[in-house]
Amino acid sequence: MAYFAYVRVSTKEQNVDRQLVALKPYNIKKKNIYCDYQSGKDFDRPEYQKLIKRLRAGDCLIIKSIDRLGRNYNDILIEWQRITKEIKADIIVIDMDLLDTRTKNGSLTGTLIADMVLQIMAYFAQTERESIHQRQAEGIAAAKAKGKHLGRRASPLPDGFRTVCMKCFDGELSIREAATILNMSHATFYRHFVTWKKEYSVSDG
């Protein structure tokens, strides 16, 4: 049995220290810690793929939080099943005690509870995602019906602005990190981000 860890941040500008500190109590060998500086939108990440190739039955994969594994809960469910059912390795999510598949008291309680919790999380994440998209579409349609222009004509925004804004909205990037990625000043990005949220974020009417 071997212990492995997976660490992920979206860009090289982000810091992995907080995740590494959380892993220290598990005394994982440095060669068994894999780190990607890449979005969690899918699992096509070089270090993650190397990790999966090394995992064997009885091994244990440790991550700090479930969103370090990925951002899409439906994809996480598939990958979770692959690791726990096909490879037959365990998973520990440090920030959530219930997401620990290790056998407890000689029974399968760990796996059963972890699977149930993950299924519930995936359901609510998908429901919230669909709700946000629906309300965004309704807000855009209502604004267009009133003849409003969505966006600022006078100042063209950098390519990828909306993608970076969504990452800020999801908590994946800080305001300063986003401004750096877009080569904008902190104040300028924040001003445009506030406008973007008003136009495209969840609105209660």
Question: What class, spelled out in words, does domain 3-124 have in CATH?
Answer: alpha beta
Burial 114-132 (b: 16+ CB within 10 A, else e): bbebbeebbeebeeeeeee
131 has catalytic annotation: no
Contact 83, 111 (CB under 8 A): no
pLDDT at 10: 87
From residue 127, alpha-carbon distances to 71, 80, 96, 133 in Å are: 14, 20, 21, 10
Active-site residue among 10, 155, 174, 185?
Answer: 10
> What pTM was estimated for this model as a whole?
0.61
Higher-confidence position of 203 and 29:
29
Chain mean position to CA 199: 24
Q: What mean pLDDT comes out for the span 64-86? A: 89
Give the start-end residues of each E strand in 24-70.
33-37, 60-63
Least confident piece of the model among 3-12, 99-108, 112-121, 190-199? 99-108
pLDDT at 203: 43
